[in-house]
Amino acid sequence: MKEKRLTYLTLIPTAAVFLFLGLYPVIEAIWTSLNKYNLTRPWEGKVFIGLANYIQMFSDARFWESMGRSMQFLVVSVGLTFILGFSIALLLHRAKWFKGFFRIVFLVPMVVAPAITALNYRFMYNYKLGILNKIIESLGFSRVDFLGDPSIALWSAILVDVWQWTPLVILIMLAGLEALPREPYEAAAIDGANRWQTFRFITLPLLNKFIAITLLIRVMDVMKVFETIQLMTAGGPGRSSETLNIYLARVGFNWFEMGYASAIGIFTLYFTLFLAWLLVKKMGAFSEVGESIE
């Protein structure tokens, strides 16, 4: 009994911090989203309007445009980082020489602050002075306006995100590959399975949890990308790279419509949770490995 009391007592500080830093802001944001609250008119305070902000959000064409760009960013960035990261992890797993060196090299982009990465790429993408255009021009091609062309500005930001977070995929998938048991592979070799069959029916099912965790982290990361786009294009040119988070920041900190911004923020939070739940459920990530193989 005393041990249980001690356990509960030690959990109290953690629970208090969670409630204050985690639960309270969410509750406050939900309440704000149900109010009309503009910081340019502080004397009015919060005026309760129910679900009006959410109704406005779902009828807002600009909201849906930014949502579409966020989904484009999500699908392309998560897809590319996973394919590249998994491929490199497979190569590193098979490498016999300089494995430690390549691990360090590939992990460098991940430890650089996103703001620094965005500013560096902004300079590299520069139309007149950027090194990328210098290389393109030296090869005999015309310069590319990476950040000024509405048709490629968002793609340029996506490539930066891919460069920075592919190492995370490498790290997780390489850990998964090195944790795989050898017995199924030995049995497959005895049965005459080729490399593709071994990869398809043994490696992938055994890595199911690692794949799900990797995709889960990447989906949540992409859904909160802000500084990369803000520092490179600020949602421009025009609104061509304005994602959901950029639009949210514009509503809240440019237009000071905190009620509407809170509604967008709450939607983004629960939409991200829905995507995470859907991903885990569809992949059956936390079922038994034997069931996954069957």
Question: How is the chain split into domains, by residue range?
Answer: 57-293
pLDDT of residue 289: 42
What does the block give as tokens for 292? 């996954």
Distance CA 48, CA 39 (A): 15
pTM of the model: 0.86
Write the pLDDT tens digit of every residue in 101-110: 777 777 888 8
- Whether the pLDDT of residue 54 is over 90: the answer is yes
Nearest CA among 146, 100, 99, 104 for reference residue 127: 146
CA 152 to chain centre: 20
Cβ-count burial of 151 within 10 angstroms (0-12 exposed, 13-18 middle, 19+ buried)? exposed
Are the beta carbons of 147 and 122 closer than 8 angstroms?
A: yes
Write the pLDDT tens digit of every residue in 228-237: 999 999 888 9
Query: What residues have CB less than 8 Å from 169, skipping those under 6 apart?
Result: 81, 82, 84, 85, 86, 89, 214, 218
Amino acid at 114: P
Cα–Cα separations (whole angstroms), residue 174 to 47, 217, 263, 266, 279: 53, 16, 39, 35, 21
41 secondary structure, DSSP code: -
Under CATH, which architecture does the 57-293 domain have? Orthogonal Bundle (1.10)
Are the beta carbons of 124 and 130 closer than 8 angstroms?
A: yes
Which has the higher per-residue pLDDT, 100 or 162?
A: 162
12-16, 80-84, 234-238: the lowest-pLDDT one: 12-16
Q: What are the DSSP calls for 215-278, one per residue?
A: HHHHHHHHHT--HHHHHHTTT-STTTT--HHHHHHIIIIIS-BHHHHHHHHHHHHHHHHHHHHH
Instruction: Give the percent of the chain with pLDDT over 70.
Output: 95
Which has the higher per-residue pLDDT, 219 or 14?
A: 219
Cα–Cα separations (whole angstroms), residue 31 to 58, 221, 224, 259, 260: 18, 26, 22, 9, 11
Write the pLDDT tens digit of every residue in 150-194: 999 999 999 999 999 999 999 999 988 888 888 888 788 887 778
Mean pLDDT of 202-211: 87
Distance CA 19, CA 76 (A): 35
Are the beta carbons of 151 and 240 closer than 8 angstroms?
A: yes
